[in-house]
Structure 1
Amino acid sequence: MEEKMKVKLTVGVVVTGSEALKSEKGANIYEYMVDKISSLGVEVVGFDKPISQGAGVSKQASLFFSKNNVDLLLVIEGTWTYDNLLIDVTKFLNCPIIFWATPETFNVPFPQTCTLVGITQTCGTLVKMDKKIKVILDDIYREEGFNKFKNYIHILSIIKKLQFTNIGLIGGSRCPGMLDTSFHELELRKQIGPEVIYVPSSDLLSEINSITDAQAEKVQKELIPDDQIENVEKDIMLQSMKIYIATKKLVEDYELDAVGYKCWPDLRHANICSPCFTLSKLSDEGIPCACEGDTMGAVSMYILQLLTGRNVYLGDFLKADTKTNEAQYFHCGAASSNLAKDKKEIIYRKNAQYSDYDWIDGLIVDFPLKPGRITFARIGEIKSKYRMVVYTGEATETDMFVRGNPARVKLDSSAEDVVNGLIQNGSGHHQIAVHGDILDNLKLFCEFLNLDLAVL
């Protein structure tokens, strides 16, 4: 299989520099910043002439950046210049524009560069032209300011990567009785970017049937410590390993980045056990998986993983205490093992949840969610418009009040407000969460992608 295409962000760089002010300072800053940004693994296209009086240079810059299809334009405010020139430069761009100005010191008789005058004048004008503007006010040589710029690049790189993302829907549709996991496929491509790849259940079953017991036993020995297995019959263990091997091959064959998995009723009808272990292990390996054919759950998990570099939790909102604002969540046992406080305490056992459904109990990964700050975020759609719904809390220690992957969270908002907010925003029943407080980055993500954001 060919290596998957690597997506790079293209960053344009230009500096303003008026002949009437200290334009040579802007030139020095330009050279420094081009070298600095190049170290971030992005493609840098710099326009090396300062934007100053006269429209000739600004129109050249306009064509230059348009031709190079920049995903982000950095305007270094070396000195004040005419705002109409920056309208020229950005005329054909539909990407975010970051203005970076070094504040001048107090107690100087007259500003040497007038950078603050320049950005308030120019940026306000460009906002009226419907341009997406962000401003950094910091010394260009300070790491704190550059870290803020790096974060913008990080988020925009994720947005660009989403345009080339494949979300697999194994089983080809949602599970019955779960209309809340429905989605608008064309609007998903248009508004966010991912393509949904439909993988029929017949492909999965064919792959499962092609795997030998010997292959399955080998994988079991490689992946699961014997002393953490509890009461799992050999045929269940082997079948669970075969599902994992088969699904991993489909992920590779279809070049999938994340998976929505229609686990039932197809596998039940084929006399195949529940695939919870497979979803857990693939998530360990960087392929987030949402069960019950939840495509937008998979999209949300993938975005949170890209933003944080951490594994993501999926669970049902099971109980809420409106007096203490605590909530309990759970799912069947398909969470990444990296979400356990101590991997040595994980138990690999049969899924007892489905005994009443006439379905073979598959292998699950049994542990509670580890404690820590946590952010819930899910993307969904109402009337063809996608939005993100976010709330936060503190995951706390919990006992195994149910088999699978229980979680207990002290919500930052009232439990009643969270429940009502989820309902009013049409959020699905699967709650998607990642450790850490990433609200600020989610706000930037939604702003850059033009998504509505509801913070509960």
Structure 2
Amino acid sequence: MRTNLVAFASPIHPEEEWRRDLEQCLEKLRDVGLEFHEHLIVGQPHYREVKLSKRVHGTIIVFLTGGTSKSAAKILQDIAKPLIFIASPRHNALPSALEANALLREQAMAKIVMVREGYAEEVRRFLEKAKSLREESKAKILSFGGLAARADLKEASPERLAEMFNVEIEEVPYKDLEEAIIKVGEEEVETMEKRLRASMAIKDTSLTKAIRLYLATKSLLEARGADGFTFNCFNLLSKIGSTPCLTMSLLSDEGYVAVCEGEIQSIAASVLTRKLLKREFFMSNVSSYTGRTLLIAHCTAPASMAERRIDVLPHFESGLPAGLDVELKRGAVTLFNVDKGLKEIVAFKGYMKASFLKKEGFCRTQAEVEVEEPVELLSRLVGGHLLMVYGDVMEELREIAELLNLGFREL
């Protein structure tokens, strides 16, 4: 396994001491099978001379002495991830590693390892696990109606999504979707409608257009070998004459990554949830709060998350077919998302205590989640959407964040 390796030392420390530490470190890392072209930086002036490759499995930084944190932070703004800091057990190397990690908090989150028995094997295992996780997260997502990202608002680009999460976005022209809808046969629609009416209560809405959209989307996913999809819904409603809510619910239950509103941060979080956590999720709006209760809502949720009832109704905002009101199971939940810049995961725990609420003025699937301090939570969230999964997955999210070189914040 090949990595970048950069070692830092301060010129005020005797070279004969830290040089010995460096040579021993390099030998230990080579002994566990790591390959690298090492760079040594002594003092501030030389950091600009270092050219780091992105065609490697990660970057190892060796802190040999104190007084090196700022030099390290300056060259690590745009480097191959994951990132590992190895700190010598003397010469104030560990404080410098900690300081550099704090300076980089918005760009990366390094794993910090101190030189001790077995540390080289720990580094190798971490890099192997990070490589495996990145391969596991690989996904191709079809985008219908365009992505919602705005560079002028400092939202992450598709390129950033590919770099950090190994996720490729393929834009699908509207004409391709339109042609796929036209090809859907009447018999297919009738068969699907019978199946849905057997498990859902259809109220005041037609299913025909929504089913056609589901079948057309599925055919495009299969034809293009995609792992999931996103609809920039409000760009397409008038053209399609239906919302993608039913499509989202059904295809999510079939194992696809289904993401509302063309939002890059939620694509990242959804891929993470489906591919790495291997959990079903409800992508929701943060809609309101009362006391310690947070109201989350959207017009779709996977049918597999239902405790009992599912009502199919007109979509909340447009009145088009069709929105879903899913009676969600009660229980402990984790709510989270990735931030707009794809730099950190922000998460908190709660208890899903009630749903199927039928409140006016909100999306159809509504759930009340009991949390500690809703007012404080709201000011620290990273957007208007949250993914809800059942159970406490904080430790899994924390480990994923470290392996993907993301920050992690538990609220």
Instruction: Tell me the TM-score normalised to structure 2 length.
Output: 0.68
Structure 1 residue 331, shift from structure 2 partner: 0.6
2:278 aligned residue: 309
- Is the aligned partner of 1:338 residue 2:301? no
SS in 2 for 1:353: coil
For residues 136 and 234 of structure 2, the distance between their equivalents in structure 1, rounded to whole angstroms, comes to: 31
Specify the code of the residue in structure 1 equivalent to 2:313: K
CA distance in 2, matches of 1:391, 1:152: 28
1:208 pairs with 2:208: no
The residue number in structure 1 matching 2:325 is: 366
Please tell me whether the aligned partners of residues 172 and 201 of structure 1 are also in contact (alpha carbons under 8 angstroms).
no
Bigger RCO (CA 8 Å, 6+ sep):
2
Shift of 1:174: 2.8
Change (3 A) 1:54 1:328: closer
Q: State the partner residue of 1:449.
A: 404
From the superposition, tell whether residues 401 and 59 of structure 1 become closer, same or farther in structure 2 (CA, over 3 Å).
closer
Partner Cα separation in structure 1 for residue 209 and residue 132 of structure 2: 39
How far off its partner does 1:59 sit?
7.8
Helix, strand or coil at the partner of 1:408: strand
Q: Deviations over 1:113-155 (max 9, x none)?
A: xxxxxx978x9699699983469x9xxxxxxxxxxx9999777
1:52-91 superposed matches below 5 A? 61=31
How many pairs align? 344
Q: Tell me if the contact between 2:354 and 2:368 (Cα under 8 Å) persists in the aligned partners.
A: yes
1:395-440 CA distance string (max 9 Å, x none): 112342336211111113x111101112xxxx22112121111222
Q: Report the CA distance between 1:193 and its aligned residue.
A: 2.8
Structure richer in strand, relative to its length: 2
Q: In 2, Cα distance between the equivalents of 1:120 and 1:175?
A: 44
The answer for the alignment partner of 1:193 in structure 2 is 166
- Tell me the residue number matched to 1:261: 231
Aligned counterpart, 1:288: 257
1:434 corresponds to: 389
How far apart are residue 341 of structure 1 and its match?
Answer: 1.6
Specify the alignment match of 2:107 in structure 1.
Answer: none
| Amino acid in structure 2 at the alignment position of 1:226 | A
- Unaligned runs of at least 5 residues, structure 2: 3-22, 38-54, 59-63, 65-79, 102-109, 117-123
Post-superposition offset of 1:386 = 2.5
| TM-score (normalizing by structure 1) | 0.62
Cα displacement (A) at 1:224: 1.8
* CA distance in 2: counterparts of 1:396 and 1:310, whole angstroms: 20
TM-superposition CA deviations, 1:322-372 (whole Å, max 9, x none): xx321111111x211111123xx223x232414xx4x5322x332232222
Query: What SS is found at the alignment partner of 1:368?
Result: strand
Whether the 8 Å CA contact 1:174–1:293 is kept in 2: the answer is yes
Query: Aligned in 2, Cα 1:416/1:61: closer, same or farther, shift over 3 Å?
Result: same
How far residue 300 of structure 1 moved from its aligned partner, in angstroms, is 0.8
Instruction: Report whether the alignment pairs 1:351 with 2:323.
Output: no
Correspondence for 1:173 among 147, 151, 154: 147
SS at match of 1:301: helix
Query: Which has the larger Rg?
Result: 1
Match of 1:229 in 2: 201
The answer for unaligned runs of 5 or more in structure 1 is 1-9, 12-52, 73-82, 84-92, 100-118, 138-148
Which whole-Å deviations, capped at 9, do the CAs of 1:173-219 have from their partners, x for residues lacking one?
Answer: 3399xx98953222222333322211122211110011121121123
Superposed displacement of residue 315, structure 1: 1.1
Alignment-mate amino acid for residue 183 of structure 2: S
Question: What CA distance in whole angstroms lies between the structure 2 residues aligned with 1:429 and 1:392?
Answer: 17
Say if 2:345 and 2:406, in contact at 8 Å, map to a contact too. Answer: yes
Larger deviation, residues 279-288 vs 436-445 = 436-445
Could you say if the C-alpha distance between residues 365 and 399 of structure 1 is closer, same or farther in structure 2, counting changes exceeding 3 Å? closer
**In structure 2, how many angstroms separate the alpha carbons of the residues matched to 1:453 and 1:219?**
42
- Aligned counterparts of 2:196 and 2:26: Cα–Cα separation in 1: 67
Deviations along 1:233-255, whole A, 9 cap, x unmatched? 6xx32222111111012222333
User: For residues 58 and 293 of structure 1, do their structure 2 counterparts lie closer, same or farther at Cα, with a shift above 3 Å needed?
Assistant: closer
Q: Work out whether residues 259 and 288 of structure 1, in 8 Å CA contact, stay in contact via their aligned partners in 2.
A: yes
Mapping of residues 11-90 of structure 1, within 5 Å? 61=31
Q: Distance in 2 between matches of 1:152 and 1:328?
A: 40
How much has 1:281 moved relative to structure 2? Answer: 0.6
Determine helix, strand or coil for the equivalent of 1:265. helix
Question: 1:394 is matched with which residue?
Answer: 351
